[in-house]
Structure 1
Amino acid sequence: MLERKQIKGRTQVTFVLPAETPDGMVSVVGDFNHWNPAAHPLEARGDGTRAAKVSLPAHSSHSFRYLAAGDYWFDDDTADHHDGTNNRIHT
């Protein structure tokens, strides 16, 4: 799930997944962090989910995917668009 909040010309995007689906560490990786899995790991929240926040320029478009343990790449069904390889988000 994607949550968005506008803050002074930027869009704060929160990438949210259930706490244990999939098991193990998960990171959101994309063109906004040079596809670096260490940049935005999802962390547990009190509501039983885990999330990572990323601040992106407003009115921009970005590619992203999730990367879980074991080199397991997966998509976000709530993304704005899928280009065949990656998810796309528009801020």
Structure 2
Amino acid sequence: MLVLDTGAEIEDVFLGPADHMARFDPERVFAEFNAKQAIVDAYEAGLETGAATDYLQGLCKAIAWLAVVYADHADYRESWRPS
């Protein structure tokens, strides 16, 4: 539901392809996919050794990959970028 400045409420409606693209930007969708694929890859690499340090490193990589999707945000720090 959308609430206007006047206080009026408008039901959330689907306005077609333009509305869909505004809500689900293709670049963001691809970035999300790539980040999640990298997380799976890091997880599988950690499974190969089973060492606790590998799991911790995998978690750190997962967090970095989740954050990289927002690299275009003003508050994103380059130090967060996955290596």
Regarding TM over 0.5, the answer is no
More strand per residue:
1
Q: TM-score range by the shorter chain?
A: under 0.3
Q: TM-score, normalised by structure 2?
A: 0.25
Structure number with larger C-alpha Rg: 2
Q: TM-score, normalised by structure 1?
A: 0.24
- Higher RCO (CA < 8 A, seq sep 6+): 1
